[in-house]
Amino acid sequence: MLNDDIQTEVHTAEPLVPELSVFEVELAIENLKCQKSSGSNQIPSELIKGGDRKICYQIHKLIISIWNKEELQEEWKQSIVVPIYRKGDKIRLQ
């Protein structure tokens, strides 16, 4: 005879991580370094830091949306590395 009230436990390999808070986004924005080159989005950190709380909430909303969908835009997975030579023979290093 089968028992219809059998409960099964589901174990996942992924740890349960709480969603990012607005406070954590505010801290990250505060810690942005100024006068650095912007990324592929061409948004300088000074613009983000100079914004009001609306920008912080919109960034938080975007992050939570990405978190829930578990999907990044393809452009965000790309990066460009540009070497900056300070001393020495630039030709030999290539």
pLDDT one-digit tens code per residue, 73-91: 887 777 777 777 777 666 6
Query: Is pLDDT at 38 greater than 60 in this prediction?
Result: yes
Domain span including residue 54? 19-33+42-70
In a domain, 77, yes or no: no
Q: How many domains does the chain have?
A: 1
Q: Closest Cα to residue 48, out of 36, 64, 59? A: 59
Q: What is the C-alpha to C-alpha distance for residues 61 and 21, in angstroms, rounded to an integer?
A: 10
In 1-94, which residue ranges form alpha helices assigned H by DSSP? Answer: 22-30, 45-50, 53-69, 90-93
pTM of the predicted model, to two decimals?
Answer: 0.61
Q: What is the C-alpha to C-alpha distance for residues 90 and 29, in angstroms, rounded to an integer?
A: 35
In a domain, 81, yes or no: no
Structure token digits, residue 10: 């589901």
In a domain, 55, yes or no: yes
In a domain, 47, yes or no: yes
